[in-house]
Structures are given as structure tokens and as C-alpha cells.
């Protein structure tokens, strides 16, 4: 009996939530920021054949909503310091060695 009374009290007086605008300010997210990911691969900087010591995340994205897109898909190379978009790349990019994939983006020596 006491539990039901407590549940009714909570239901009728819910705790006030902080204003969402104050916690999460409204941001404009461009439509291309939510692109479909067709493939993804991580290149560890410690890999035996890596040309760099920095880790990279490489993703093949749907680029149809990207302003001034040069094709329907692109490869995006990103690490904490740099993001590079590549339009012309081999369809077999997932099977390339780390060094060869970095060379596609001009990141290998």
C-alpha cells in the first residue's frame, strides 16, 4: 500500500529536468554529416608496414549529399590532426596493405 502511494507521488510530481537548450545547445548538422558508411578500416600506426606512427580511420562514404561532390562515394582518412577526402581510389581499397592505402591519400612516403 505504501509503495503504490509513493509511486503515485512520483508520477504526479516528476523531478524537473534541466532545460535541454542549456545542456545541449541546438546545432545545425549538415545532411552529409550522416552519410552511409559502406566500408571502414583502422590503420594502426604500429602496424609493421605502416608508413606513419599515427593511427588512421578510413571510411568509404556515400557522398551524394556532399556539396560539390566529385562522385557518388569517397574515402575519408581521419586522425586527430587531419581529415582527408579522396575521390579517386581503387574499388579494392579494403584489401590494400596499410602502406598502399596510405599512399592512395598521399600520406605514405
What local confidence, expressed as pLDDT, does residue 84 receive? 94
Q: Is the dihedral of CA 82, 103, 99, 36 positive or negative?
A: positive
Q: Nine-digit cell at 45?
A: 600506426
Residue-by-residue DSSP string for 38-85: EEEEEE-TTSTT-S-SS-EEEEEEE-TTSTT-SSSEEEEEEETTEEEE
Q: Which of 99, 104, 103, 105 is nearest to 44 (CA)?
A: 99
- Domain extents in the chain: 28-104
What is the tens place of the pLDDT at every residue in 21-73?
A: 444 444 555 555 678 888 999 988 755 455 556 889 999 999 988 888 899 99
pTM exceeds 0.85 for this model = no
Residue 55 contacts residue 29 (beta carbons within 8 Å)? no
**Secondary-structure percent of the chain, ordered helix, strand, coil, rounded to 5:** 25, 25, 50
User: Residue 88 pLDDT more than 90?
Assistant: yes
Amino acid at each position: 500500500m505504501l509503495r503504490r502511494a509513493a509511486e503515485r507521488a512520483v508520477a504526479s510530481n516528476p523531478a524537473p529536468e534541466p532545460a535541454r537548450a542549456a545542456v545541449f545547445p541546438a546545432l545545425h548538422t549538415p545532411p552529409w554529416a550522416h552519410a552511409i558508411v559502406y566500408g571502414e578500416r583502422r590503420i594502426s600506426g604500429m602496424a609493421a608496414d605502416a608508413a606513419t606512427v599515427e593511427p588512421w580511420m578510413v571510411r568509404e562514404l556515400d557522398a551524394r549529399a556532399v556539396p560539390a561532390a566529385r562522385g557518388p562515394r569517397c574515402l575519408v582518412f581521419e586522425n586527430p590532426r587531419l581529415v582527408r577526402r579522396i575521390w579517386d581510389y581503387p574499388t579494392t581499397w579494403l584489401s590494400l596493405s596499410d602502406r598502399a592505402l596510405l599512399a592512395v591519400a598521399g600520406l605514405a612516403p
